[in-house]
Structure 1
Amino acid sequence: MGLEKQWITYGKNQEYTGYLAKMDCVNENLPAVILIQEIWGVDAHIQDVTERFAQAGYLAFAPDLYARNGKRLEDLSTDRIDEARSFMDSLPHSVWNNLEERQKAMSELPEKKRSRVVKTYERMFGGMNNAEYIEQLLVTSEYLREECLVSKGEGVASIGFCMGGALSGLLACRDRQLKGAAIFYGNAPSEEEQQNINCPVYGFYGEQDKRISDQVPYFAKQMKSKGKSFHYKIYPNTGHAFFNDARAAYQIDSARDAYQKVLTFLHEILLT
């Protein structure tokens, strides 16, 4: 058996784009999983992850949050993101969140490249529009539940990574029909937003990713006090983006365990 993989358009005016994967022998009654991108977009890695969940028996769908009406915004085109990522990967990770050192490194780039990298970096890291992204994700879950013939009438869950992890948590706050949400090393929803969560949430974090992992115990305490379902795993000796096998941060033991746990989570919330 193989996979059927395709880019599709959806939304009221077909303004949104997403990458869909499913087993090619199944054309109905598949529960759906929304895979929410990292800051780098629906790149080769996110497409590969989407295919992994399709092979596990789900309709897997990765909405492209950077595309409108079939086109990527210029500063967020694949080539521009790849250029910015290559630059960032050339720096020690400690520089990523150090404004002075990052600007110094950017200033040493050739003028035209510096202009492109700065614009793309600012668009990705400084111009995130969560309201716009959540609007698209809500349309995505509605499309999968109500329009997509393969998953129509079935449950929908979300899994997000980094930026997408935070958005997965926010989607749980906004979509009352979502069956469950997995957060991979993403920020927790605000305490106010948490009041609206109606589904189980599972978080996966790296111990060395202090900016995010240090807030997890308090998030768990808040969720418990509100009677919400939240389980999590913080992996020792593991940093940010440990699930991304296309990057140096990949940690195979943590990624393997998280994959097994998230598959169990999906089975419990979508198939039992």
Structure 2
Amino acid sequence: MTLFIDRSNNKSKTTSTIPQQAFDWYDEYAHGDIDRRTFLSRLGTLSVTGLTLSVVASALTPNYALAEQISFNDPDITASYVEYDSPNGHGKARGYLVVPKGVNMDNKAPAVLVAHENRGLNPYIEDVARRLAKVGFIAFAPDALFPLGGYPGNDDEGRAMQKTMDGDKIEGDFMDAATLLKHHTFSTGKVGMVGFCYGGYLTNALAANMPDTIHAGAPYYGTPAKSNTENIKAPLQLHFAELDQRVNATWPDYETALKANQVNYTAFTYANANHGFHNDSTARYQEKNAELAWERTVNFFKQTLMS
């Protein structure tokens, strides 16, 4: 497989040849199925011409210096960290709130809840929130790791931290964040949600468990809600990676449930893409697929939340 990572705005361009097996192993590692030692040991068995083990491992793990598309100093947005009450979760929670310029009590905007992967609120997810605000949405990205001190600055530690937490309480934190957005003084009351990996699961789960709050959901490579899919009212736009065998195996049954419950949904599968293809901080990133998926997502939210 030939991988092309092409980033504009003075971001680096890397062209590498990495076997698909390496991506599959990274997916196992990122989701806790194997530890880092096993992941690196497996990489060491590969024969990759011109690439060392350290280069391959580095390419597969995030480099968040590459991920910023919208600066936190962008004049069109205002970003801040906000604590909020979370009676359904950990009691207190915190998230990254980004408000478009000109949005206020007299000029309200719809809101989008942004759900991170299984490692806390990292810089990539914060940038996703800024991208949404840049095009007119109030965006809020909670940090599941806040009760443990917040995202620690690296994904390995963040992943280990999140693994120790009560999943029901994390869901409660995000549910209370959705309620916060619905009643925010700058919000029109319409709330969408987008999430990636674990955040994709959360998007499906909140659509099922908060049908009167979530007005549109865009899960990226997320597994289905565990229950209550019959309650989903919101239209869904689902994004899948063709090579993501783990998540894709859950889709046929989920699609059957959505059809049975007459949910308005559209599902896209992106050719030759790996799980995480939207994350522009790793070698899994695919610029054309990521941009297409994001364009679809923004248009979807404009159609469902701004009309």
Counterpart position of 2:52:
none
Match of 1:9 in 2: 83
Map Cα deviations across residues 147-189 of structure 1 (whole Å, 9 max, x no partner): x2211x4201110000111011000011122101111011112
State the Cα distance separating 1:257 from its structure 2 match: 0.8
Q: Which amino acid aligns with 1:187?
A: T
In the superposition, the TM-score normalised over structure 1's length comes to 0.78
The gaps in structure 1 that reach 5 residues or longer are: 85-116
Partner of 2:305: 270
Root mean square deviation, CA, Å: 1.9
Q: Which residue of 1 aligns with 2:234?
A: 199
Q: Conserved in 1, the CA contact under 8 Å of 2:119 and 2:159?
A: no
Shift of 1:213: 1.6
1-structure distance, mates of 2:192, 2:151:
28
Of 212, 215, 235, the match for 2:270? 235
Q: 2: distance between equivalents of 1:259 and 1:121? A: 25
User: Which residue is 2:121 aligned to?
Assistant: 42
Q: What's the CA shift string for 1:96-142, capped at 9, x where partnerless?
A: xxxxxxxxxxxxxxxxxxxxx6xx654434x3533112211121111
Are residue 245 (structure 1) and residue 280 (structure 2) matched? Answer: yes
Contact 2:120/2:162 (CA < 8 Å) preserved in 1?
no
Distance 2:170 2:233 in 1: 20
**Structure 2 unmatched runs, 5+:** 1-74
Letter in structure 1 aligned against 2:102: C
Moved more, 30-39 or 192-201: 192-201
TM-score normalized by structure 2?
0.69
Aligned mate of 2:246, from 197, 202, 211: 211
| Structure 1 residue 2, shift from structure 2 partner | 2.1
Instruction: Quote the residue 2:12 is aligned against.
Output: none
Q: If each structure's helix is expressed as a fraction of its own residues, which one has the higher value?
A: 1
One-letter identity of the residue aligned with 1:179: H
Tell me the distance in 2 between the aligned counterparts of 1:253 and 1:218.
29
Opposite residue 242 of structure 2, the aligned amino acid is E
- Relative distance call for 1:31 and 1:77 in structure 2 (3 A) is closer
CA change 1:150–1:37 in 2 (3 A) is same
Equivalent residues, number: 227
Q: Percent identity?
A: 26
1:65 correspondence with 2:144: yes
Q: 1:61-210 maps to which residues of 2 (within 5 A)?
A: 61-68=140-147, 73=148, 77-79=151-153, 81-82=154-155, 84=156, 121-125=159-163, 127-146=164-183, 148-151=184-187, 153-177=188-212, 178-190=214-226, 192-210=227-245
Contact kept, 8 Å, 2:143 with 2:151, in 1: the verdict is no
3-state DSSP of counterpart to 1:205:
strand
Structure 1 residue 33: deviation in Å?
0.2
Are the counterparts in 1 of residues 203 and 219 from structure 2 also a CA contact under 8 Å?
yes
